[in-house]
Structure 1
Amino acid sequence: MPGNSRPTASPEAGARMQPTRTTRLLQTGRPPAGQGPRPVNPPVMRASTVVFDSVAEWRAARQQRQTRQVLSYGARGTQTTFALENALSELEKGHRTQLYPTGLAAATQVLMALLRPGEHLLITDAVYAPVRHFCSTWLPARGVDCEFYAADGHDVAARLRPGKTRMIYAEVPGSLLNDMLDLPALAALARSCGAWLAVDNTWASGWLLNPLTLGADISILAATKYIAGHSDLLLGAAVCNERAYPILAHFSESTGQTVSPDDAALALRGLRTLELRLERHERNALAVAQWLGRQPAVARVFHPALPDDPGHALWKRDFKGGNGLLAVEFHDPDPGRRDRFVDALECFGIGASWGGFESLAVPIDPAALRSVGAWHGRGSFVRLHVGLESPEDLCQDLMQAIAAAQFTTAPPQPDPDRSPP
């Protein structure tokens, strides 16, 4: 009978099983077999002071912690944070991982650790706004020349400065409007001039894309988002290759970067359902994006999973799926009507961040956050995070909010003094 069938032994019967990535996601970062009875998840180990039985043991731990995960002092990690580091390294196919209290801390630590005065940074115009602020204010004050390149990366080669460009920083897809770029091509350009390639991989959260396998040196994650998945913790990570990790780890330890073991345990718990949640987010977001694309008030929906999106071919080539993020441009340029639309939403909360189980909406202004290309003379924009609610309910909510906003449906008249992007 089918229900009682057994798998047929393969010619390699007795060989060690090679689990799929779905199974590895559930097993990574857990206590290993062969240690007797053990909890499914590592227990939360809270510690600041660690005591030793001898001076020799204390000295050995301090020497070993430069290259190994050893319990030596709480700020250097406990068994709980080590488990999360190992899980993220496996998820991203990296060498080792450094943890941070926020995703922004991970990004800024990478920039400070790997850049020196007099060097040149090329950073995407689609970067996360707080990172943009850091690169526009604090890095120039420390002698680093920061230059933004187009969100699709078409101008990177022309902006490279041989002997000066030390890092290319990418975010794929880009913040707010989900711009796609060719990551392997960017990696080749970075190698051609001896530059680091750092990639903010929060959108894919290590599951939908692995930048290190495409040539990046560092993959930055705001684990606050999909990895945690429940909007109840702040956490960042930088997964590195062997070349980048020692430099970043030394700098981060020197500046006192550490994370709470309680937050690490919550992130490990969230990690177990990452695949399932992303599948639901992707399905819901695509349904909402397609519905929005049919509405007369909407000029464009920004979502790389849509076949008519300019970055769809790159997304399909490099990514294993989508998530819940999309942006919508309304024909109507009036920010007052846009804000009235957001205020009228009932299923969508109004709030920063994303990646939790809930749907969110915020008004956005690309013209204020982009410097490459012209964004004036366009409609009004809203970013949506489509959560795990019923997509039918979400579309019904969007419909009543569009009606409440009383949007005009005609495109804005072009300003002859401004050119479109």
Structure 2
Amino acid sequence: MTDDFDYQLETLAIRAGQERSQFGEHAEALYLTSSFVADNAAQAAARFTGAEPGFIYSRFTNPTVTLFQDRLAALEGAEAAVATASGMSAILALCMGHLKAGDHILASSGMFGATIQLFSNWLAKFGVTSSFVPPTDPAAWDAAVRPETRLFFLETPSNPLTEIADIAAISAVAHRHGAIMVVDNCFCSPALQRPIALGADLVIHSATKYLDGQGRVLGGAVVGSKALIEPIYQFLRTAGPTLSAFNAWVLVKGLETLGLRMRAHCENALALAQWLETQPAIERVYYPGLPSHPQHELAKRQQSGGGGIVSFEVKGGQEAAWRLVDSVQLLSRTANLGDVKTTITHPYTTTHGRISPEVKAAAGITQGLIRISVGLEHIDDIKRDLARGW
């Protein structure tokens, strides 16, 4: 690609970052090798010190992984990216690169259960403390800042209630206090939301989800400025929670259809959410594309679509929720999301099952809550399958 144009997302998702080898391949190459050969000792030494660019060892330098990183950075409008073995390893690498004992994380109360576990249990063992505040109240973030607060961590939309946080407003609070603003963009992907343009410093991805889009591989990434990515890369180079070349190649191919898939996910999810609101067995539906969603207007301003996640409360608590989950024959009973196949899960006992009842209650996660990752099957078939449960 040349730099003559300001390319659109769909073009970047297909073309950005590719450098053809001497063979002139049309599709992106897959480099399955553990290490790379230097021409001489001086070149090897220069590459290890960083004085000369080049590939060394696939734990931290691989052409296929670099292609994925460069393409994702282009989609997010960022300078750089570092790829990891999973979304959770991306969050861990971020924390290891930027935090030390005595630092404090301020995070949204509505988040993926494993992220809450990482902050509350594992990082706490090494002297990093965490506090959780409502994602929808910027004033609460301002009030909860401590002198040692180093990192703001925000999911928007949140998992699983799709709460929408004002990225620009909370970023302003973070920067006023000298903290790094991090946004987990898993639910939207850069096809629907670009947090860096709204003031965020770093963006987290579980590439396992929409970036792949077909449930094939695990992967993660952190995206941002070169200066903020560098310490994360250095941790990755040393500790090795690395994205494999094969997984990177699969993710590159997933990015090619990201824009098309996200538009289709949004269309199906909105239709499903509207239908669910008419069902007598449903207590409440959570979807940013619905006018009934508390942050509907904010979602319209900072997202180009409502996303593919729909959550809803069924009447009758856990018994009714499990009955619904057990009744489906088309939908996949799995906690993964972002797939072309529609998935269904009961967050209270799966994604947030390890969290205490008190924390669940504070986050609004009830025993009657169901989360649907709406796939690309025909919407009428998705509706019919869910209707078996009531």
TM bin, normalised by shorter chain, reads over 0.9
Name the aligned partner's letter for residue 54 of structure 1. Answer: N
Q: State the TM-score, normalized to the length of structure 2.
A: 0.92
Residue 20 of structure 1: aligned partner = 8
Aligned-pair CA distance for 1:193:
0.7
Aligned-pair CA distance for 1:151:
3.0
Residue 322 of structure 1: aligned partner = 306
Residue 60 of structure 1: aligned partner = 46
Aligned-pair CA distance for 1:105:
0.4
Q: 1:76 to 1:369 in 2, by over 3 A?
A: farther
Residue 265 of structure 2: aligned partner = 281
Given that 1:150 and 1:372 are in contact with CA atoms closer than 8 Å, whether structure 2 keeps it comes out as no
How far, CA to CA, are the matches of 1:375 and 1:213 in structure 2? 28
Given that 1:284 and 1:388 are in contact with CA atoms closer than 8 Å, whether structure 2 keeps it comes out as yes
**Residues 310-346 of structure 1: CA distance to partner in whole angstroms, max 9, x if unpaired?**
011111100112322110111322x122101110011
Given that 1:278 and 1:322 are in contact with CA atoms closer than 8 Å, whether structure 2 keeps it comes out as no
Structure 2 counterparts to residues 43-192 of structure 1, below 5 A: 43-64=29-50, 70-154=54-138, 155-161=140-146, 163-192=147-176
2:341 is equivalent to residue 381 of structure 1: no
* Secondary structure of 2:115 counterpart: helix
How far, CA to CA, are the matches of 1:349 and 1:372 in structure 2? 24
Given that 1:174 and 1:180 are in contact with CA atoms closer than 8 Å, whether structure 2 keeps it comes out as yes
Residue 339 of structure 1: aligned partner = 322
Q: 1:216 to 1:337 in 2, by over 3 A?
A: same
Given that 2:186 and 2:209 are in contact with CA atoms closer than 8 Å, whether structure 1 keeps it comes out as yes
More deviation, 316-325/230-239:
316-325
Structure 2 counterparts to residues 264-279 of structure 1, below 5 A: 264-279=248-263
* Secondary structure of 1:315 counterpart: helix
Aligned-pair CA distance for 1:374:
4.5
Residue 417 of structure 1: aligned partner = none
* Percent identity of paired positions between Structure 1 and Structure 2: 29
Given that 1:212 and 1:241 are in contact with CA atoms closer than 8 Å, whether structure 2 keeps it comes out as no
How far, CA to CA, are the matches of 1:377 and 1:354 in structure 2? 18
Given that 2:86 and 2:208 are in contact with CA atoms closer than 8 Å, whether structure 1 keeps it comes out as yes
How far, CA to CA, are the matches of 2:363 and 2:39 in structure 1? 64
Q: State the TM-score, normalized to the length of structure 1.
A: 0.86
* Secondary structure of 1:371 counterpart: helix
How far, CA to CA, are the matches of 1:59 and 1:259 in structure 2? 25
Gaps of 5+ in 1: 1-14, 403-421
How far, CA to CA, are the matches of 1:369 and 1:320 in structure 2? 35
**Residues 171-200 of structure 1: CA distance to partner in whole angstroms, max 9, x if unpaired?**
011111101111101110111110111111
Q: 1:369 to 1:182 in 2, by over 3 A?
A: farther
2:298 is equivalent to residue 310 of structure 1: no
Given that 1:148 and 1:371 are in contact with CA atoms closer than 8 Å, whether structure 2 keeps it comes out as no
Gaps of 5+ in 2: none
C-alpha RMSD of matched pairs (Å) = 2.1
- RCO comparison, higher one (Cα < 8 Å, 6+): 2
Given that 1:149 and 1:372 are in contact with CA atoms closer than 8 Å, whether structure 2 keeps it comes out as no
Residue 344 of structure 2: aligned partner = 361
Given that 1:198 and 1:220 are in contact with CA atoms closer than 8 Å, whether structure 2 keeps it comes out as yes
Aligned-pair CA distance for 1:248:
1.3
Residue 9 of structure 1: aligned partner = none
Aligned-pair CA distance for 1:60:
1.6
Q: 1:258 to 1:190 in 2, by over 3 A?
A: same
Paired residue total = 382
Q: 1:218 to 1:347 in 2, by over 3 A?
A: same
**Residues 89-126 of structure 1: CA distance to partner in whole angstroms, max 9, x if unpaired?**
10111111111000010011112221111121101111
Given that 2:283 and 2:314 are in contact with CA atoms closer than 8 Å, whether structure 1 keeps it comes out as yes
How far, CA to CA, are the matches of 2:233 and 2:42 in structure 1? 25
Given that 2:314 and 2:320 are in contact with CA atoms closer than 8 Å, whether structure 1 keeps it comes out as no
Aligned-pair CA distance for 1:86:
0.6
Given that 1:101 and 1:258 are in contact with CA atoms closer than 8 Å, whether structure 2 keeps it comes out as yes
Given that 2:110 and 2:363 are in contact with CA atoms closer than 8 Å, whether structure 1 keeps it comes out as no
How far, CA to CA, are the matches of 1:380 and 1:129 in structure 2? 17
Name the aligned partner's letter for residue 202 of structure 2. Answer: I
Residue 416 of structure 1: aligned partner = none
How far, CA to CA, are the matches of 1:182 and 1:174 in structure 2? 12
Aligned-pair CA distance for 1:145:
1.6
Aligned-pair CA distance for 1:41:
2.4
**Residues 120-141 of structure 1: CA distance to partner in whole angstroms, max 9, x if unpaired?**
1101111211111111111111
Q: 1:209 to 1:376 in 2, by over 3 A?
A: closer
Q: 1:278 to 1:148 in 2, by over 3 A?
A: same
Residue 371 of structure 1: aligned partner = 359
How far, CA to CA, are the matches of 1:372 and 1:336 in structure 2? 18
Name the aligned partner's letter for residue 208 of structure 2. Answer: T
Larger Rg: 1
Given that 1:125 and 1:370 are in contact with CA atoms closer than 8 Å, whether structure 2 keeps it comes out as no
How far, CA to CA, are the matches of 1:377 and 1:165 in structure 2? 27
Q: 1:123 to 1:16 in 2, by over 3 A?
A: closer
Residue 219 of structure 1: aligned partner = 203
2:188 is equivalent to residue 208 of structure 1: no
* Secondary structure of 1:75 counterpart: coil
How far, CA to CA, are the matches of 2:363 and 2:248 in structure 1? 40
Residue 4 of structure 1: aligned partner = none
How far, CA to CA, are the matches of 2:307 and 2:220 in structure 1? 19
